[in-house]
Amino acid sequence: MNLNTFYLAVAGLILAPLLGGLVAGLDRVVTARLQSRMGPPLMQPFFDVGKLMSKVIPPASHWQGMFVRWALIASLASDALLAAGGDVLMCFFVQAASACFVAMGAFSGNSPYSKIGAQRELFQMLAYEPVFLVAILCMAKAAGGFDAFSMMSGSEPLLFKLPLIVPGLLFVVLVKLRKSPFDISASHHMHQEVVRGIYTDYAGRDFALLEIAHWADVTVVLWICSFLWATGPLQMLATALITLFVALVIDNISARLTWRTMLKTVAPISLILAAANLVWLYLE
């Protein structure tokens, strides 16, 4: 690793959670406007995390704190890897490990709601991870390499070669943002019948660390989506913001689906479309 790569990795490690926090704040502001409400200020997620950090609450089990910290490390590592121009496929697996650690921490708690939420988190992973994997394979084939710099240095947008992966990437974004119709394991909304699902047993500093890990995950997913139009920094930013806005609109006009519908209908259709795009690239 040369010095420039190290600096990029450190920058990604620091900036990615901050960008994720701004995305969370923008999410609340836009959602409030769509619902004709005032809503909280843009920086409210940072205030919430700061308040949670000041609360010292024992974890539900001695394993839970360890899983929270491993989830945070994995999420931040995926950001650092992507910022340094590393292998996007490796970034995908590291990010998936973070979700597994969160689920394992929920399973180690005492609440039945927490365990139900953890089960649903695994169902979500079973639904969206194969779609995300095939989408990344399509990007790598179209860009000519698995490293992030190859995907960001194209002379023309990858979107023209990858139109069929767009529904799958939008599906992944909705799941990672925990938005309707796919907020089956953890949701801020009152219609979630298992309270906050997978987050039920987390509190205080552990919950704050999980929020930071979630921000880092959201940054990774939106960053990878921005590769679809990576002809410049502004174009990438615009692509990520458009993806976020579309996800928020869908969230506000959609009812929550069941995990069975996700696994039996949405995931197979998204996976078939992404796989068809991959076959198309190899037959060109």
> pLDDT, tens digit, for every residue of 53-100?
888 777 777 788 889 999 999 999 999 999 998 899 999 999 999 999
Q: Give the model's pLDDT for residue 153.
A: 82
Query: Is the model's pLDDT at 185 over the cut of 80?
Result: no
Dihedral pair phi/psi, residue 73, rounded to 5°? -60, -45
Q: Per-residue confidence at 1, pLDDT binned at 50, 70, 90?
A: low
For helices 88-107 and 64-83, give the axis angle rounded to 10 degrees: 170
Owning domain of residue 36: 3-283
Backbone angles phi, psi at 147, to 5 degrees: -75, 150
Q: CB of 64 within 8 A of CB of 202?
A: yes
The Cα–Cα gap between 81 and 35 comes to: 37
> Stretch 20-36: mean pLDDT, rounded?
91
pLDDT for 7: 83
Other residues' Cβ atoms within 10 Å of the Cβ of residue 35? 9
Average predicted confidence (pLDDT) for the chain: 87
Q: Could you tell me the pTM of the whole model? A: 0.90
pLDDT given at position 194:
45
Instruction: Please report, rounded to a whole number, the percentage of residues in the chain having pLDDT higher than 70.
Output: 95
Arithmetic mean of pLDDT, 266-279: 93
22-34: average pLDDT: 91
Per-residue model confidence as pLDDT tens digits over 144-175: 889 898 898 877 899 999 999 999 999 999 98
- Total domains in the chain come to 1
